[in-house]
Amino acid sequence: MGLVGMSLGLTEVFKRVLLPRPPLAVAPDVYMHNSFPSGHTTIAMSVLLALVLVSRSRFRGSITLLCMLYALGVGS
């Protein structure tokens, strides 16, 4: 749970402070919010890492593969 929370906090720091979106087009502010890195992708990847950390070593490979496919699907 802490890993997911820290990942989301770090994502917000990146979105708001370190990686601001450059003004590429003239559009209303509602369409110009910063959406990278995505919070959905951050949650998917941090849950993947948390499951890998707490899983048994014999199940770790299959859990990693399944969660990685899910995280890639969310990211794309």
32 pLDDT tier (thresholds 50, 70, 90): low
37 pLDDT tier (thresholds 50, 70, 90): low
Measured over the CA atoms of residue 41, residue 42, residue 43 and residue 44, the dihedral's sign is positive
57 residue type, one letter: S
pTM of the model: 0.60
Joined together, the tokens standing for residue 38 give 């995505």
Say yes or no to pLDDT of 46 above 70.
yes
